[in-house]
Structure 1
Amino acid sequence: MKIQLTYLFLAFISSLTLAFGQENTEVFNSANNAYNEGKYQEAITQYKSILDTGEYSAELYYNLANAYYKTNVIGPSIYYFEKALQLSPNDKDILNNLAFARNMTIDAIEPLPKTQLSKFSSNITGTFTYNQWAWIAVILAFICVISFLLYQFSYQSLQKRIYFLISFIVFIFMLGIIAITYQQYEKAQQDRPAIVFAAETTVKAEPNLRSDAVFTLHEGTKVQVLDTVADWKKIRLIDGKIGWIIAEDINEL
């Protein structure tokens, strides 16, 4: 069962069977009933008890996020919407409710401007995941090999020229796809998003309490984790600002 926002409020709408064990399914249904009765904290406790067993799904994260939203606890709400989005990236309900939750955050951070060339490149490379790009490269390699073999075994000069041209063009495209695949893979490996859970936290210039404060963040803001030193995380905002935050003030996705 999935609970979603309607008219700026969250409401129960549908019933879905989760791939849980019988016991967890009963807990999930009980949590949904608690949510519908306005017992949001009880629903949160029951949803999280399912997570404690190692079971999870986009629907579970989604409903848990909605319950947190109803209690005006924005950090965990955004966190679990983001978790749901990782499992179901094209779900419109998740995207819409995440947008509602983000509107509740205090920090208004504008992303760094991109050039037209950068936007065009991002649109192209972001069309597929690195796994999908890798499969495209494999298919192109297969076509390239077939074309080259046809070139080798063709007797007519026109056919040989055509097959050689095809194999050459496909080979060039294949190299480009391999480059994109590697770029997307590196990007995925470096992607360590996290959500601020503290109501307010000070970001420092260095990983210690004595260093200068560089800026302040509030609950629900999304950051990128760059490094870890003891109990500190080095983070970057979408506007390019970098600093160190106490590790317990954020939860990594």
Structure 2
Amino acid sequence: MRAITLIVFCFSFFGYSQNNQLFEEANALYNEGKYAEAIDKYENILDSDIHSAELYFNLANANYKLNNIAPSVYYYEKAKLLNPNDEEIKNNLAFAKNMTIDAIDTVPDVGFTKILKNLVNTLNADTWATIAIVGVFVFVLLFLLYHFAHATSRKRLAFVISVVSLFLACLSVAMAFQRVQLDKRDNPAIVFVQESRVKADPNKTSEEVFRLHEGTKVQILDSYEDWNKIQLSDNSIGWIQSQDIRLLNDF
């Protein structure tokens, strides 16, 4: 068993070293202006099931230099998924989106929906769940303090803080649940063909509702055979052939 573990470690280390060398070679090719060759080496790393924001960012940069609209948007979006707070990724993604043809308005959230979504999105589901657990733990401790305390002031303080902790725990559970639901519904994709005819129904003879072009981001709502039901940021809905798009959440 020990020998097997050592062999696995050696292969893992060898694979890491090889990918690191490929990454350095790809960066060197990029700096020399050999963008197509750099892309080949970056993609070789992806083929070994290695994923990182830096890798996707560099791959997007190389595609952007060659005016490859869909791949540059796609890989910037992938980098953003892995490192959502990186300003350089956001800025380069904005430049890449400027190359796209489709100008689609965004329907903003308003009122309570906007407030709720902003609150839910401030933290991920795991963080909300952690806050809930801490809140319950604090509630139990303060409830015990309230039960055994003799001074009225201590009992009052323990009672107030325990109620606040319980409320915070319940709110955090609700926020975690809502974040999970939002994440499940978030299934973005990028159009990867020069032009795609979006249909009213999932068949080629159906009425065409609109056309999309490479680099446009869509949300997948449903699927049927080799078709995907999509929604745009302006809430337009239609069916697109699965071969015309690439999912962003696939790693």
Q: Same fold (TM over 0.5)?
A: yes
Kept in 2: contact 1:20–1:55 (CA 8 A): no
Given candidates 169, 176, 179, the residue that maps to 2:174 is: 179
Match of 1:229 in 2: 224
* Residues 1:157 and 2:152 are matched in the alignment: yes
Instruction: Report matched runs for 1:13-28 at 5 Å.
Output: 21-28=16-23
Give the number of the structure whose residues are more often helix, by fraction.
2
1:81-138 Cα distance to aligned partner (Å, 9 max, x none): 1111111111111111111101111111111132243333222221111111111111
* Residues 1:124 and 2:124 are matched in the alignment: no
Match of 1:12 in 2: none
Match of 2:6 in 1: none
Instruction: Report matched runs for 1:37-116 at 5 Å.
Output: 37-116=32-111
Task: Give the AA of the match of 1:102.
Answer: K
3-state DSSP of counterpart to 2:141? helix
In 2, distance between residues paired with 1:132 and 1:194?
Answer: 26
* Residues 1:242 and 2:244 are matched in the alignment: no
Match of 2:142 in 1: 147
In 2, distance between residues paired with 1:27 and 1:181?
Answer: 40
Task: Give the AA of the match of 2:208.
Answer: A
Task: Give the AA of the match of 2:133.
Answer: V
In 2, distance between residues paired with 1:165 and 1:24?
Answer: 56
Kept in 2: contact 1:65–1:76 (CA 8 A): yes
Kept in 2: contact 1:194–1:224 (CA 8 A): yes
- Relative to structure 2, which stretch is displaced further, 140-149 or 170-179? 170-179
Task: Give the AA of the match of 2:230.
Answer: I
Aligned pairs, number: 235
In 2, distance between residues paired with 1:223 and 1:117?
Answer: 25
Instruction: Report matched runs for 1:201-220 at 5 Å.
Output: 201-220=196-215
TM-score between the two structures when normalised by the length of structure 1: 0.89
3-state DSSP of counterpart to 2:21? helix
1:30-85 Cα distance to aligned partner (Å, 9 max, x none): 21122122221111111101111112211111111011111111111111111111
- How far residue 162 of structure 1 moved from its aligned partner, in angstroms, is 2.2
Task: Give the AA of the match of 1:148.
Answer: F
Given candidates 31, 34, 38, the residue that maps to 1:36 is: 31
In 1, distance between residues paired with 2:211 and 2:177?
Answer: 35
Task: Give the AA of the match of 1:107.
Answer: D
TM-score between the two structures when normalised by the length of structure 2: 0.89
* Residues 1:135 and 2:133 are matched in the alignment: no
- Relative to structure 2, which stretch is displaced further, 137-146 or 149-158? 149-158
In 2, distance between residues paired with 1:194 and 1:204?
Answer: 17
3-state DSSP of counterpart to 1:107? coil
- How far residue 20 of structure 1 moved from its aligned partner, in angstroms, is 6.6
Distance 1:28 1:194, change over 3 A: same
Q: Which runs of 5+ in 1 are unaligned?
A: 1-18
- How far residue 207 of structure 1 moved from its aligned partner, in angstroms, is 0.6
Aligned identity (percent) is 49
Task: Give the AA of the match of 2:124.
Answer: T
> CA RMSD of the aligned region, Å?
1.5
1:168-203 Cα distance to aligned partner (Å, 9 max, x none): 222122211111110001111121111111111011
- How far residue 156 of structure 1 moved from its aligned partner, in angstroms, is 2.3
3-state DSSP of counterpart to 1:210? coil
Task: Give the AA of the match of 1:235.
Answer: I
Q: Which runs of 5+ in 2 are unaligned?
A: 1-13
In 1, distance between residues paired with 2:72 and 2:20?
Answer: 22
